[in-house]
Amino acid sequence: MTRADAAYDPAGAAGNAYTAAVNAASSDAATKAATARDAAIASAAQDADTKAGNAQSAAVSAAAASAASLYLPNAIQTVDAYLAGATPSSPRFFGHRGGGMVRPEHTLVGYRSTAAMGFAPEVSVNVDASGELWCHHDLTLDRTTYQTGALNTYTTEEVSQAVLTNGRTLLGPGWTDQRMVPLRQVLDEFLGKIPILLEPKGNDAVVPTQTLLDTSYPHAPRSVIWKAHIGTLSLPWAKTRGYRTWVYLDSNTTDATMDGKDSMVDYWGVATTFTDQRIQQVVARGKPVFAWPVYRRSQVARLTGLGVVGMMSSDPRYVSTNLPQRTFSRWGLAVKESGGTPTLDYDTAYALVFGEGADAGWVSINALPNQSYGLGTYSPIVGSAAGYRIAFDMKYKVLPGATVHGGYYFGKDSDDPYRFTTANASGGYHVVMRASGDMQLYRHTAGVTSGTQIGSTVATTTPVADTAMSFQIDVTPTTVELRRTDSTGWTTGPVADTTYRGGYHGLSNGSITDLSTRPHWRNLAITQL
């Protein structure tokens, strides 16, 4: 009966259905509302996190920029400020390898001296086995340290404690061996104070260098020039970060290759060995051109004449001026002087040899044939109206053959190399002291192999092995005179000759063919007459 009553109660059934529907709809709405609320909360939280992260990044960037501004105020020299106004008549100078022909290359003492003189140092880096970047030109340690093998096979601890540079072999035993220096230390000390030309030399050093700069030195683009070979793939990284780029060429670089990189290059680099024509072609592209390696003033004259505005020099103090640095030698200190110009730079075979022990104070040239060594430290000689005098001692530790000679050259207008029996770029005079005792003066014309004797041959006492002879060269406006002043003394007398009055001079092995018989010199002094 109950079910029947219900069946015959449509209003009641409808009410129940309505109530059930309302309850179901309410439950569904509540579920959807809760889901929507949770989704909205999650979305809002995610958005807040994103915005907070962006705000944090912006704050970090702003703080870094602010710190960089404090660390690199506008008063400190930037790359652009350093190069502003650079022209062939007013070139800029850089310390190639930190001035590596005067101080041990890529060492802290080299960088400090270069920076103290106001020159931007070039810094080459390679990486060790631990991932530390070190200032070092070669991939191996062989050439510039007492160790051998690739740098990237040594740990940081080994490099810092067991590797010393061997600059004494090139620059003289008076030098103290130097430790290698980490790139971080160089950046911490010099970044912002002087521009730095920075180049990772090995491929394995490129990314670590980029990472270090990005992470720890965000302000570096203001004072670092990114230096690289034309074949590099690193230029897009450098340009997107605002670095100035110096890209150097090799003898096989084509114009098409240069065209492909031109938009990412600020300055081009040419070698001093390039022909005049090739250098002029690079200059004609319209971007500043820097040359390397420059260690003679005559190279500066040639390069600026071709339109080059930057000199990458291993001796920037010397090549940036046209003045003598002093008038007497201190060879007993056994330290290479700024302005000393061997036939080849960075080559120990042509380096000036400093005597030790009983030979302390004496120097010699341990290279053949007909080698010389320019004394730019004392050049150009500044005489009085009456002229000047060059005085020095010379000896043969072992006597050569009777007609063989060593000597001294002088009177040159330029510091280009001067070699006996060679067609030199500029002319001058040559002192000849033969082992027989014959003393002579010769004049050499530019471009001519043989010399011309001026004045008479003077027969002096035969030299004695390992015994000093003393000489004076007097140059007046109208005459040249050579004297040997030890013992009783001899002279050519004043020889009337005004052909050359340049102020560059140096040591000459003359016609020596056996290095054991090479001449040695000491006690150089330049005085006015």
Give residue 448's pLDDT.
96
Asked whether 353 and 511 are in contact (CB, 8 A), the reply is no
- Which of 204, 232, 207, 226 shows the shortest CA–CA distance to 139? 204
Range with the lowest mean pLDDT among 56-70, 291-305, 313-327, 451-465? Answer: 56-70
For the cut 50, the answer to whether the pLDDT of residue 72 exceeds it is: no
How far apart CA 96 and CA 93 sit, in angstroms, is: 9
CATH superfamily of 331-528: Exo-inulinase; domain 1 (2.60.120.560)
For the cut 50, the answer to whether the pLDDT of residue 5 exceeds it is: no
Give residue 52's pLDDT.
63
Q: In the chain, what are the domain boundaries?
A: 14-71, 80-319, 331-528
How far apart CA 30 and CA 77 sit, in angstroms, is: 68
Asked whether 506 and 370 are in contact (CB, 8 A), the reply is no
Give residue 7's pLDDT.
40
How far apart CA 102 and CA 363 sit, in angstroms, is: 17
Asked whether 149 and 330 are in contact (CB, 8 A), the reply is no
80-319 maps to CATH 3.30.70.520? no
> CA-based diameter of the chain, in Å?
162
Give residue 503's pLDDT.
98
The more confident residue out of 72 and 87 is 87
Quick: pLDDT tens for 172-224: 999 999 999 999 999 999 999 999 999 999 999 999 999 999 999 999 999 99
Q: What three-state secondary structure class fits 492?
A: coil
Residue 118 — very low, low, confident or very high, per pLDDT cuts 50/70/90? very high
DSSP 75-120: TSPPHHHHHTT-BTTB-EEEEGGGTTTTS-TTSHHHHHHHHHTTPE
Give residue 507's pLDDT.
98
For the cut 70, the answer to whether the pLDDT of residue 16 exceeds it is: no
Give residue 35's pLDDT.
72
How far apart CA 331 and CA 252 sit, in angstroms, is: 42
Neighbours of 312 (CB within 10 A): 26
SS (H, E, C) 415-449: CCCCCCCCCCCCCEEEEEEECCCEEEEEEECCCCC
How far apart CA 338 and CA 341 sit, in angstroms, is: 9
Residue 11 — very low, low, confident or very high, per pLDDT cuts 50/70/90? low
Range with the lowest mean pLDDT among 4-8, 159-163, 431-435? Answer: 4-8
Quick: pLDDT tens for 223-269: 999 999 999 999 999 999 999 999 999 999 999 999 999 999 999 99
Q: What is the pTM of this model?
A: 0.85
Mean per-residue pLDDT for 349-357?
97
Mean per-residue pLDDT for 481-504?
97
Mean per-residue pLDDT for 320-324?
97
